[in-house]
Structure 1
Amino acid sequence: MKTFIRVVELWVPDRTRTRLEFGGSLCSAEFEEFRAVSENALFAYDEGLPGKAWASGHPVILTKFANSYFKRTDEAVEAGLTCGVALPVFAGEFLMAVMVLFCGDDAKHVGAIELWHNDPDKSHEMGLVDGYYGTADMFEFNSRHTKFPRGFGLPGRTWKAGMPLIIKDLHNAKGFLRWEDASEIGINCGVGIPYTTGDETWVMTFLSAQATPIARRFEIWVPDASRSALTFHSGDCSKQADLAALYDGKTIRRGEGSIGGAWATGMPALNEHLKQDETISAASARAAGMNQIVVLPVIEHAALKAVLAWYL
């Protein structure tokens, strides 16, 4: 089974905090040459895809590398990578890291990664900045001509919640306004991540299909009332596991495993070997045959709001 996202990279400030250096990646062996190029790369503020996300203060998406500010075009094209998304993680105004996701391109590539934006001075709705849809042409056309008020659809609901959001069983989800288009092409799960810069709001959405899923499992963990541990908030698993029942009464301590570590450090995390993670979530994922995790902390006003994790 191929996942929709082919390569995940972390870019972290170097010792001088003036440039971004390679902080690790998750990818299969076919992308080793691309990884080798990335390992030696450095990006200044506003340079390349990671530097652009740093400078803009919100996610950026590039659906075409040619004739753009992207720096590794030849290597990416050779590796079959066609789209890049950069997600910056800030604590207040200070950059912690940038996570970059790359998608591939083949005939069975179904799903979507979208960036939505609202500027309240211009509109009370959220419109599409850009998106990558694989082979889902009709879904792409309709998405580019759709706007969402606050509280409606996945982008609008994520905007209103101010929290990462998971909508599963999209064909039955009244809150997902494009469900008919989505069900026709097999998209069955949606994840939204909000970003606020000043008065403007950005929402990154991942739409996952059964044939080429974004991930095999998504989980959102949030601090408890005392902010001493993380509790399970919501999730979706391709194996149909009842995650709420599985994690009922269970917590992850600050600093514990990849998920608790993201809270302790404010840094995203990539873990290729879940057997090195002792948490309840890692044990459950391993039991379901999952070996890798991507962890993204969602920080607001320099405090952790939630942790979004996905398993490969």
Structure 2
Amino acid sequence: MRTFIQVTEIWTPNEDRTVLRYHDGLYGRHQTFRLASQKMSFGYDEGLPGRAWAAREPILLKDLQHSYFLRGEAAARAGLTCAVALPIFAGDFLLAVVVFFCGADDDHVGAIELWRNDPRSEWDMGLVDGYFGIAESFQWVAEHTRFMPGFGLPGIVWQSGLPEVLQDMVHSARFVRRDDARRIGLNKGLGLPVFSDPQRHHVMTFLSALGTPIARRFEVWRPTEADPGVLEFAKGDCDRRPGFALDYHGVQLPRGSCLLSRVAASGVPAVSASIATEASPVGESARQAELAEMLALPVIEHGRLKAVVGFYF
């Protein structure tokens, strides 16, 4: 079974902050696309990573062949058809741009949505763009739905300012579009607040289907009140081992003890292609679920770490 997200890349500024250079990535079976990416760099407003840097907000690109995307031929050979770039800022300081790639299959059901509210002109939050695989009917619903704070997954994330996980969307009163999600097989959701633009509110939502999950596991870790450098488990979902949260009961991740806590300290996203070999409670839980790859993504507001989210593939 393949995940909805097929490739994940991390781009970081060079020493004089003039270009973005390749930092790391997870490519699965798309190793030739890795070779093409490793040779690239992007200036400010150049290519998809550079555009996200300049825009200070997530950008979703559904045309990788006839646009400003600079690796179109390599993407076509890999069967990648859509990309989402997420810039991560600490104040005005760009830390990294994370790019997610998806492909198109006849049974590829899932969604990545970008939602935005501009408080200068709007009271609610509307869809900026989205990628829905073959779920065209759900796309129409998303385009015609708006959320107030606290309503629906985008509104819940907007109100809390924290990552949120919905484990059973089709039976959750918190998910406003549950009837439409049930019809096409969407069952789980992750919502991320994005704080890159101080003038507007942004939320990214990742909606999973049973056959093509966005990722095999999501974990949300938050700094402890006693020590912001120490992480504790907040919530998550795993399709391979539903009871995995028991692995983290009473567990705290000290500074520098594992990939997640190192990302918490640096603010820079990181990946591991062998997370199950890590000598930590996270590694042990990944071993038991037979999970190998992980992206650790920081959530930062005004320079302050709010959470670290683990995507497992």
Give the TM-score normalised by the residue count of structure 2. Answer: 0.96
* C-alpha separation in 1, matches of 2:52 and 2:255: 27
- Compute the displacement of 1:7 (Å): 0.6
SS of 2:3's partner is coil
Structure 1 residue 150: Cα displacement: 1.3
Match of 1:165 in 2: 164
C-alpha separation in 1, matches of 2:255 and 2:300 = 15
Instruction: Give per-residue Cα distances to partners, 1:200-245, cap 9 Å, x unaligned.
Output: 1011110011100111110000011122411110101102432433
Aligned residue number for residue 201 of structure 1: 201
Counterpart code for 2:235 = S
1:280 is displaced (CA, Å) by: 0.7
SS at the partner of 2:214? coil
What's the counterpart of residue 269 of structure 1?
Answer: 270
**1:26 Cα deviation from its structure 2 partner:** 0.7
CA distance in 1: counterparts of 2:207 and 2:267, whole angstroms: 26
Contact residue 224 and residue 231 of structure 2 kept, 8 A: yes
Any idea what the Cα deviations from partners look like across 1:158-199, whole Å, max 9, x if unmatched? 100101111111111101011111112221111111123223
Secondary structure at the counterpart of residue 85 of structure 1:
strand
SS of residue in 2 equivalent to 1:267: coil
- Corresponding residue for 1:57? 56
Aligned position for 1:23? 23
CA distance in 1, matches of 2:101, 2:10: 12
Contact 2:190–2:205 (CA under 8 A) maintained in structure 1: yes
- Worse-superposed segment, 237-246 or 61-70: 237-246
- The 8 Å contact of residues 65 and 76 in structure 2, kept in 1 or not, is answered as no
Shift of 1:290: 0.4
Give the 3-state SS of the residue equivalent to 1:66 in structure 2: coil
- Residue 71 of structure 2 aligns to which amino acid in structure 1? R
Letter aligned with residue 201 of structure 1: H
Is 291-300 or 59-68 further displaced after alignment?
59-68
1:92-133, Cα deviation, whole Å (9 max, x unpaired): 211111110000011010000010111112211111111000
CA RMSD between the two structures: 1.2
What is the 5 A alignment of 1:227-266?
227-266=228-267
Q: Paired residue for 1:297? A: 298
Partner of 2:188: 189
Cα offset, 1:44, TM superposition: 0.3
Aligned twin of 1:47 = 46
- For the residue of structure 2 that corresponds to 1:77, the secondary structure is helix
Letter in 2 for 1:209: A
Structure 1: stretches of 5+ with no match in the other structure: none
User: Residues 70-219 of structure 1 correspond to what in structure 2 (within 5 A)?
Assistant: 70-196=69-195, 197-219=197-219
Q: Which amino acid aligns with 2:207?
A: L
Q: Distance in 1 between matches of 2:216 and 2:24?
A: 21
Letter of the aligned partner of 1:211 in structure 2? G
1:54-98 deviation per Cα after TM superposition (whole angstroms, max 9, x unaligned): 111121111122332211112212211111001111122111111
Tell me the matched-pair count: 311
Hey, what's the Cα distance between the residues in 2 that align with 1:281 and 1:120?
39
How far apart in 2 are the matches of 1:256 and 1:43? 32
Relative distance call for 1:257 and 1:123 in structure 2 (3 A) is: same
Gaps of 5+ in 2: none
Q: How far 1:301 moved relative to its partner?
A: 1.6
- Please identify, of 221-230 and 128-137, the stretch whose mean Cα deviation from structure 2 is larger: 221-230
CA–CA distance in structure 2, aligned partners of residues 48 and 254 of structure 1: 35
Q: State the distance in 2 between where 1:298 and 1:217 align.
A: 18
Cα distance in 2, alignment partners of residues 200 and 299 from structure 1: 15
Task: Compare 9-18 and 106-115 and name the one that shifted more.
Answer: 9-18
Question: In structure 2, do the counterparts of structure 1 residues 186 and 73 end up closer, same or farther at CA, with 3 Å as the change threshold?
Answer: same
Mapped to 2, the partners of 1:145 and 1:240 lie a distance apart of 35
Relative to the length of structure 1, the TM-score reads 0.96
Instruction: Indicate yes or no: 2:60 matched with 1:67.
Output: no
